[in-house]
Amino acid sequence: MKESKSDALVFFGATGDLAHKKIFPALQAMVKRGNLDVPVIGVARAGWTLEQFRAHARDSLEQHGGVDETAFAKLCELLQYVNGDYDDTATFESLRVALGNAQRPAHYLAIPPALFGPVVEKLATSGCGKGARVIVEKPFGTDLASARALNQILFTRFDERSIFRIDHYLGKRPVHNMLFSRFTNALVESFLSREHVESVQITMAEDFGVQGRGAFYDQTGTIRDVIQNHLFQVLANLAMEPPARIDSESIRDEKVKVLKAIEPIKAAELVRGQFRGYLDERGVARDSQVETFAALRLHVNSWRWQGVPFFIRAGKSLPVTCTELTVRLRRLPKVFPGCDPVPNYLRFRVSPEVEAAFGLTVMDPDDRMIGQQAEMMLSRRPAAGEMDAYERVLTDAMAGDQTLFAREDYIEEAWRIVDPVLKSGTPVHVYRPGSWGPLEATAVMPPGGWVNPVARVANSA
């Protein structure tokens, strides 16, 4: 069934950091591509005029991506601004007037979760929520109990088909492309199972620290910030079964099945780290035990993957900025006396560039039948004009396509997996900035070791 497109976009938190860095560039791109031609109403309590709001939008674009004068002029015609507190009935009365004849608005809550309740309630009592969709920004809870509580708040006024929980990582073209590549290439799909795969590892490395966001990060940590959401989505894209149909519910059904097959992580299967100097960051508690690095092992006990360990590693102040997945295949029996075959592998890089590579054993240069490992690689940089993640997810939300959004059961399963270990008080080990994390991380190391991503300097086509 084709969903009706939203006829207005309201975004709460319109003067915030997320709006300035990501939302205005996405809105301009949507206008330029012809995917946005409805009123865009910013709601905030900055005390601004509409002209100040438009000036803020222009400043955002000048700093983050550039101004397209034609598209920006069209965006300015669509922009409206409602000023007021989120718990003030008068704010929502003004919003109702701004919505005019809109019957299917989309309300984007780019605000802290603590404000969801008052906003959802006021949307309903003011009539602004009638026929509406609600788009919710992450983090969606801090544990299983809080995620369930947030869901209950939303369910008091909206049904699941009207709720869009953003994980912008799913909007990245390479992440979305993993499914397409898996299920359209026999060369890849034929060996993705326990019969052929020895282990799977996923690394998300960042070569910077918390970048002035110490107060936020000290309430979050690496597991909550990127593993429980972003990297579980990458894992699900690799491990899921082919969907029965190509619709949002069928695809999301298969992703939920993957998480249901994963046991909660045990303390012995997790190593947490903190880069030296983190405690000096502004907003960070002097005795903080929040991790800036985590390495963990988990098990997907499905028919396809039972017995194959999955390893996830993520952290800040590491040597490079890169997200990469490596599938290491089982070692072949020895045939040539001087050659111990190294396991073949599939390596898929999600960012900053896109790479798909096969690691193969080839004849050594001196023909001594010893062999050496070589990569066969396809690589590309994002092309100009490609959809940014936020443009993609906002476009889909406005169209009512939920494929790239997390469903209630997926969110709760993801928290179920990490909840026990988050509350178990595992130790935090200090590591040197620019290293690959604490030495203790070898306790949860894939067979054959971690594959450390390297920075690429060339731009291959």
**The domain that contains 288 carries what CATH number?**
3.30.360.10
Distance separating alpha carbons of residues 242 and 173, to the nearest angstrom: 19
Q: What is the mean pLDDT of the chain?
A: 91
- The number of residues making up the chain comes to 461
Contacts of 246 (CB under 8 A, 6+ apart): none
Please compute the mean of the pLDDT values over residues 10-35 and round it to a whole number: 95
If one counts every other C-beta atom within 10 angstroms of the C-beta of residue 433, the result is 16
- Per-residue pLDDT tens over the stretch 324-340: 999 999 988 877 877 77
Q: Which residue has the tokens 């000096």?
A: 280
Predicted TM-score (pTM) above 0.75: yes
Domain assignment present for 148: no
Distance separating alpha carbons of residues 112 and 118, to the nearest angstrom: 11
DSSP run (H or E) holding 190? none
Are 308 and 178 in a shared domain? Answer: yes
Distance separating alpha carbons of residues 63 and 59, to the nearest angstrom: 6
CA distances 338 to 112, 163, 423, 439, Å, are: 61, 60, 50, 33
Query: Residue 280, SS3?
Result: helix
Query: Is residue 342 packed enough to be buried (19+ CB in 10 Å), middle (13-18) or exposed (0-12)?
Result: middle
DSSP run (H or E) holding 101? none
Residue 80 CA, chain-centre distance (Å), reads 29
230 is annotated as an active-site residue: yes
- Per-residue pLDDT tens over the stretch 233-256: 999 999 999 999 988 999 999 999
Are 291 and 366 in a shared domain? Answer: yes
Domain assignment present for 368: yes
Query: Is residue 286 packed enough to be buried (19+ CB in 10 Å), middle (13-18) or exposed (0-12)?
Result: exposed
Are 344 and 235 in a shared domain? Answer: yes
pLDDT greater than 90 at residue 176: no
Domain assignment present for 449: no
The catalytic position among 168, 176, 230, 429 is: 230
Q: Which residue has the tokens 């674009």?
A: 61
Domain assignment present for 399: no
Domain assignment present for 338: yes
Least confident of 153-167, 353-367, 439-453: 353-367
pLDDT greater than 50 at residue 460: no
Are 275 and 414 in a shared domain? Answer: yes
**CA geometry: angle 41, 45, 47, nearest 5 deg:** 95
- Per-residue pLDDT tens over the stretch 390-409: 999 999 999 999 998 999 99
Domain assignment present for 393: no
Tell me which of 342 and 129 has the higher pLDDT: 129
Are 183 and 296 in a shared domain? Answer: yes
Are 117 and 209 in a shared domain? Answer: no
| Pair 417, 264: CB distance under 8 Å | yes
Are 114 and 189 in a shared domain? Answer: no
Domain that holds residue 58: 8-137
Number of domains in the chain: 2
If one counts every other C-beta atom within 10 angstroms of the C-beta of residue 424, the result is 11
Query: Residue 180, SS3?
Result: helix
Are 126 and 179 in a shared domain? Answer: no
Task: Return the percentage of the chain with pLDDT > 90, whole number.
Answer: 72
- Per-residue pLDDT tens over the stretch 338-361: 777 788 999 999 888 888 889 887
pLDDT greater than 70 at residue 2: no
Are 98 and 187 in a shared domain? Answer: no
Are 85 and 184 in a shared domain? Answer: no
Query: What is the pLDDT confidence band of residue 458, given thresholds at 50, 70 and 90?
Result: very low
Are 364 and 285 in a shared domain? Answer: yes
Are 411 and 282 in a shared domain? Answer: yes
